[in-house]
């Protein structure tokens, strides 16, 4: 049983101002596995005072000092990677192979990338008589989700540290234990008091206090579009910078070629990873109308090869994160059937033999119209929608017919064709044949957010630009 009821404020583990202990559930067993405290505005105020005080000195540190700090954090991550993986698996149901692999791997990868970027980053540039200086924005409030918890912490904390900012982090109350370990890593690495602060809690109790706080200069949020709108509205009166990575309904255009079957199978398997709880998941697969039956057969085979089950066993996917999430997914599966989509694999209810735990059948719908609810709303579960297109112009029209624009994919043999189509998709990312890069800008168009994370792109949101005229 994990006891994570203290907060990390000003370099110390402290009790909350008001005691409010909350249970944390393992979604695979539905058992309580630990406790955290829910904070209040008073706790946020304490953390912001510490972060504001620390900013006065940390903002003036040299690049070399911050590189030394990041390398110390990197070493501590290596020391705690097994603890981190177990926490992620326990709190959100990720199979251990996924927790040990991508979940912890992304944390370590973003730390290494921040080191590499900082080594080469130039914070000053002389432009004729004017010196342009990039300076840290100040105190940053960070609100992170439960689906890729370590990744999202890394995307915010490391570039903020590298640029000289201080911060207050509120991780998801559903998956909080990995963040607690991360705070222990920061402490062990010698992060100066007040530079990094951790407060657990929910949106109304802590999130709103962070987003509206007059002494917080920026809010960096990852989560749903609905919550992002509320955060932006709450932040508006203090005119702070708001960077957001929000929802997605990403298209995957499968080209009409000789590797069509393999492309469909790969796209189906990719959709099911992390139990479908990925904002960039290729949830709308676009295939030629003439090859819809082939797509159904290939997707069914791939989906049936995805095995849900015990995260500590050999399962391909674990449960979804909570009963509330399970209920939402079930409602959308029922809606897909009601609206006339063809159920190819999976469907309502739990997989056979998995009555305990929030497990969802790997589900595929075909003959989906882009006006259907399951094609419009982010399901955030292992549910794939297959839509037909007439030609590539039609595929682009369907791909862009969404309020979202976070990510997209193009899969097939003709790379030149894929490159041309990529230019026409309105999304922050296009992955051709599964392309992946930790240097690639991460962020969305339209209702998928604003700002960019990852690599050098992740530094810029945490910086202000000062022009010193008459300097040259």
| Backbone φ/ψ region at 449: left (φ over 0), alpha (ψ -120 to 50), beta | left
Residues forming a β-bridge with 196: 167
User: Rounded CA gap, 290 and 278, in Å?
Assistant: 30
245 catalytic, yes or no?
yes
Residue 454's Cα: distance from chain center in Å? 11
What lies within 8 Å, CB to CB, of 434 at 6+ separation is: 266, 270, 409, 411
| Backbone φ/ψ region at 274: left (φ over 0), alpha (ψ -120 to 50), beta | left
Catalytic pick from 4, 165, 279, 385? 279
User: Rounded CA gap, 47 and 193, in Å?
Assistant: 11
By CB neighbour count within 10 A (0-12 exposed, 13-18 middle, 19+ buried), where does 292 fall?
middle
Q: Which two tokens stand for residue 103?
A: 């979940």
What lies within 8 Å, CB to CB, of 316 at 6+ separation is: 95, 272, 305, 306, 307, 308, 309
By CB neighbour count within 10 A (0-12 exposed, 13-18 middle, 19+ buried), where does 46 fall?
buried
Helix (H, G, I), strand (E, B) or coil at 98: helix
Strand bridging mode 21-26 / 31-37: antiparallel
Catalytic pick from 76, 91, 173, 245? 245
Catalytic residues: 245, 279
């Amino acid at each position: 049983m994990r006891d994570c009821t203290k907060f990390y404020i000003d370099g110390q583990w402290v009790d909350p101002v008001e005691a409010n202990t909350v249970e944390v559930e393992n979604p695979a067993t539905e058992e309580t596995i630990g406790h955290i405290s829910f904070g209040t505005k008073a706790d946020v105020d304490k953390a912001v005072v510490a972060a504001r005080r620390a900013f006065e000195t940390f903002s003036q540190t040299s690049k070399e000092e911050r590189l030394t700090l990041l390398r110390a954090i990197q070493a501590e991550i290596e020391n705690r990677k097994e603890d981190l993986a177990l926490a992620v698996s326990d709190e959100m149901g990720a199979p251990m192979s996924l927790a040990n692999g991508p979940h912890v791997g992304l944390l370590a990868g973003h730390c290494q990338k921040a080191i590499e970027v900082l080594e080469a980053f130039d914070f000053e540039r002389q432009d004729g008589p004017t010196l342009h200086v990039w300076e840290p924005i100040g105190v940053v409030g960070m609100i992170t989700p439960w689906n890729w918890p370590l990744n999202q912490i890394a995307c915010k904390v490391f570039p903020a540290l590298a640029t000289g900012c201080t911060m207050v982090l509120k991780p998801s109350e559903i998956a909080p234990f990995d963040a607690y370990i991360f705070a222990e890593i920061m402490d062990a690495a010698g992060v100066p008091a007040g530079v990094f602060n951790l407060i657990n809690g929910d949106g109304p109790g802590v999130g709103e206090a962070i987003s509206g706080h007059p002494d917080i200069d920026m809010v960096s949020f990852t989560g749903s579009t609905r919550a992002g709108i509320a955060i932006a509205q709450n932040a508006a009166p203090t005119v702070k910078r708001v960077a957001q990575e929000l929802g997605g309904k990403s298209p995957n255009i499968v080209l009409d070629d000789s590797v069509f079957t393999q492309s469909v199978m790969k796209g189906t398997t990719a959709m099911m990873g992390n139990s479908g709880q990925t904002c960039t998941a290729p949830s709308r697969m676009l295939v030629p109308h003439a090859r819809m039956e082939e797509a159904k057969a290939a997707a069914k085979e791939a989906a049936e090869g995805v095995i849900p089950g015990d995260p500590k066993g050999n399962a391909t996917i674990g449960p979804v994160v909570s009963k509330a999430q399970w209920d939402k997914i079930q409602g959308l599966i029922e809606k897909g059937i009601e609206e006339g989509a063809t159920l190819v694999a999976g469907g309502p209810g739990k997989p056979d033999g998995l009555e305990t735990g929030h497990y969802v059948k790997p589900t595929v719908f075909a003959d989906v119209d882009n006006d259907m609810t399951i094609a419009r709303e982010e399901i955030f579960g292992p549910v794939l929608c297959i839509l037909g297109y007439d030609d590539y112009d039609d595929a682009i029209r369907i791909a862009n017919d969404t309020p979202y624009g976070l990510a997209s994919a193009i899969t097939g043999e003709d790379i030149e064709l894929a490159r041309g189509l990529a230019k026409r998709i309105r999304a922050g990312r296009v992955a051709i044949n599964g392309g992946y890069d930790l240097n690639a800008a991460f962020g969305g168009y339209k209702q998928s957010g604003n700002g960019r994370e990852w690599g050098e792109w992740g530094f810029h949101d945490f910086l202000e630009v000062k022009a010193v005229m008459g300097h040259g």
